[in-house]
């Protein structure tokens, strides 16, 4: 496995070693020791989540605040998504910047989103199964977010606005300037 740090400090794209033959493929999707060595973190994951979505579904931008902040290791099991991480660490040199990466069942890339980041994704294929590990438990009272189409963040979601399927909860999220940031 190889870890490539993005332009956002602490946010990594992980590329596994894939072994293909006439029977199919094999790869190690997660190894705690190797993950910690490659990312130089002590992150330990406590919870796994999975979602199924159809083309145009946009989930995000979400994060947890306070003692329930979460780091995530995300990947796609089926289909293709554009995954986005936004640095919301006020003391960071890249505060307010984002990184986008295409994750797919085909490329098997993963994105490590550390604590202090907002996260979201949009489904680019007909369907997608999105899987992620969290280093902290979910707490409804600690959930927060930023509206996906914030003008200051200027994220290119790669699909026309009319094709997006966004939850009622996500449509009313605050702008980056008005969000409750950690």
As annotated, the active-site residues are 62, 132
Distance (Å, whole) CA 23 – CA 31: 24
From residue 180, alpha-carbon distances to 17, 125, 160 in Å are 39, 32, 28
Q: Would you give the distance in Å from CA 122 to the centre of its chain?
A: 10
According to DSSP, the residues that pair with 32 across neighbouring strands are none
């Amino acid at each position: 496995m190889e870890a490539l740090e993005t332009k956002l400090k602490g946010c990594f794209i992980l590329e596994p070693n894939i072994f293909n033959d006439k029977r199919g493929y094999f790869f190690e999707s997660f190894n705690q020791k190797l993950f910690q060595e490659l990312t130089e973190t002590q992150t330990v994951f406590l919870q796994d989540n999975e979602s199924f979505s159809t083309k145009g579904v946009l989930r995000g931008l979400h994060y947890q605040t306070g003692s329930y902040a979460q780091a995530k290791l995300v990947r796609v099991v089926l289909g293709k998504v554009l995954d986005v991480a936004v640095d919301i660490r006020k003391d960071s040199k890249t505060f307010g910047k984002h990184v986008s990466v295409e994750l797919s069942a085909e490329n098997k890339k993963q994105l490590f989103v550390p604590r202090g980041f907002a996260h979201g994704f949009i489904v680019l294929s007909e369907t997608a199964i999105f899987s992620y590990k969290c280093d902290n438990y979910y707490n409804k009272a600690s959930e927060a977010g930023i509206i996906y189409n914030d003008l200051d963040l200027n994220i290119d979601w790669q699909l026309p606005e009319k094709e997006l399927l966004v939850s009622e909860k996500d449509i009313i999220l605050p702008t980056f300037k008005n969000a409750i940031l950690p």
